[in-house]
Amino acid sequence: MQPNRRQWLQQIGLGTLALGLSSLESFAAPANNEGKSRSLAPSDVIRLSSNENPYGPSPMARSAMIENMMKSNRYNWDITSELMKAIADKNNLPGENILVTAGSTEILNLLAVYYSMQKGNFVIADPSFTNWTNIAVQQGLTKIAVPLDENKRNDLDAMQSKITGETRFVYICNPNNPTATIVDATKLRDFIREAAKKTMVVVDEAYLEFTEEPSVCDMVKDIKNLIVIRTFSKIYGMAGARVGYAMAHPDTIDALLKLKVWPNGDISVMSRVGAMAALKDKDFFNDCNIKNNAARAYTVSQLQSKGLHCIPSYTNFIYFSLKEYEHDFFDVLKINKIQGTGIYEQEGKWTRITVGTMEEMQRFISVI
């Protein structure tokens, strides 16, 4: 397929489309346990709440952002296509399969608005990453929450059974947040092939780069009803820079572009050049994974030695049960200036903690 010129111009910010949405409030995510706004923590607070990378941005990304700071007085048309090409090359896809946004949550916002234009439902695991789902519900979609399996993984068979003619999309966070679990790659591909015959499948791979599991992004070339989401907020350590992207069929990309007044214009010059540099910094990427694996293994072993059951983690966070914990866990964290999360499942009192540096995790273990 030849690239659509109009689409390409839209992607690099030269095409401006207006959309008559009823209210821009649709894009404002309400506060909840997972998505509430948090001010930057004081320097003496250990932040183990948002699954951020404590080591980033990478040295190459920092240098690129500093060197290009003075270019912030100009619009970023000339480097927009460069970032898209870098992402496309990384994932072995044509540029027409890529949509770059200000963080992956913006893609989820766009999907919620787009697929709620027609009444119906969406299917999602419970618990999973849900801070964006209130937008879909507010726009009129019904949320179909499917319990995880006994191993705290997405129950693909159960989710498949919930798809009906009214289902607008099904969302799979893999690895899953907050449980840190991953589904079998072959089973996921089989699920996508079957589910995509009936509805749009959204696979959120925000944490996949903490694993050695293969992406399903190669499937977007042949399956129109598939969107794969990635972010620079996690392994690349650029959560505050706000860079994310979607990989999908060109027709799907084109449909989502129509929801944006200035496609790809919402990412700053510094964020763009930082993201491009981050993709090149292989040493930093590998070093982060090594450090994360070591700190995670230490923390899991220590939690288990205290009688706290942990779910095997494939990410930079750990899901564990406070059922046998004898103290007020969250009060202990507060007193010791450590930011945590909350209870995701009352039965078993399951909570999540981000994996920080080894020193931070040693401090965490020492106080609990």
Q: In this structure, what CATH number is given to the domain that contains residue 215?
A: 3.40.640.10
Instruction: Answer yes or no: do 146 and 101 share one domain.
Output: yes
Instruction: Answer yes or no: do 301 and 291 share one domain.
Output: yes
Q: Taking each helix axis from N to C terminus, what angle separates 250-257 and 104-115, rounded to the nearest 10 degrees?
A: 90
| Of the residues 280, 308, 329, the one at which a domain ends | 280
Buried b / exposed e over 145-169, threshold 16 CB at 10 Å, is ebebeeebbbbbeebbebbeeebbb
Instruction: Answer yes or no: do 123 and 209 share one domain.
Output: yes
With CA atoms as reference, report the closest residue to 68 among 271, 236, 282, 264: 271
Instruction: Answer yes or no: do 190 and 214 share one domain.
Output: yes
pLDDT of res. 288 = 98
**More confident: 157 or 25:** 157
| Of the residues 280, 296, 330, the one at which a domain ends | 280
Asked whether the beta carbons of 255 and 263 are under 8 A apart, the reply is no
What percent of the chain clears pLDDT 70, i.e. is strictly above it?
88
DSSP 8-state class, residue 147 = E
pLDDT-derived band at 41, boundaries 50, 70, 90: low
pLDDT-derived band at 34, boundaries 50, 70, 90: very low
d(CA 211, CA 81): 28
Give the residue numbers spanning the domain of 69: 59-280
| pLDDT score of 119 more than 90 | yes
Instruction: Answer yes or no: do 258 and 359 share one domain.
Output: no
End-to-end CA separation in angstroms for the chain: 58
Tell me, yes or no, whether 44 lies in a domain.
no
User: What mean pLDDT do residues 253-277 have?
Assistant: 88
The average confidence (pLDDT) of the chain is 89
Helices and strands (H and E) in the chain: how many: 12, 13
Asked whether the beta carbons of 143 and 133 are under 8 A apart, the reply is yes
pLDDT of res. 17 = 29
Instruction: Answer yes or no: do 362 and 219 share one domain.
Output: no
The number of domains in the chain is 2
Residue 283: CB atoms within 10 A of its CB come to 11
Supply the CATH number for residue 353's domain: 3.90.1150.10
Least reliable range by pLDDT among 102-106, 156-160, 290-294: 102-106
pLDDT of res. 3 = 41
- Tokens 């401090």 map to which residue? 363
d(CA 21, CA 232): 29
Instruction: Answer yes or no: do 94 and 238 share one domain.
Output: yes
Instruction: Answer yes or no: do 232 and 110 share one domain.
Output: yes
Instruction: Answer yes or no: do 73 and 184 share one domain.
Output: yes
| Of the residues 213, 248, 280, the one at which a domain ends | 280
206-254 pLDDT per residue, tens: 999 999 999 999 999 999 999 999 999 999 999 999 999 999 999 999 9
**AA identity, residue 45:** V
d(CA 90, CA 343): 37
| pLDDT score of 71 more than 70 | yes
Tell me, yes or no, whether 14 lies in a domain.
no
344: which 2 tokens?
């995701």
pLDDT-derived band at 341, boundaries 50, 70, 90: very high
Residue 71: CB atoms within 10 A of its CB come to 16
Range ranked top by mean pLDDT from 67-71, 164-168, 268-272:
164-168
User: What mean pLDDT do residues 144-172 have?
Assistant: 98
> How far lies 189's CA from each of 30, 176, 177, 224, 251, in Å?
33, 16, 20, 14, 21
284-309 pLDDT per residue, tens: 999 999 999 999 999 999 999 999 99
d(CA 276, CA 131): 28
Residue 14: CB atoms within 10 A of its CB come to 16
d(CA 134, CA 130): 8
DSSP 8-state class, residue 211 = S
Helix, strand, coil share (%) of the chain residues, nearest 5: 40, 15, 45
- Tokens 């009060």 map to which residue? 331
Asked whether the whole model's pTM tops 0.85, one would answer yes
With CA atoms as reference, report the closest residue to 278 among 228, 234, 315: 234
Q: What angle do CA 340, 101, 226 make, to 5 degrees?
A: 95
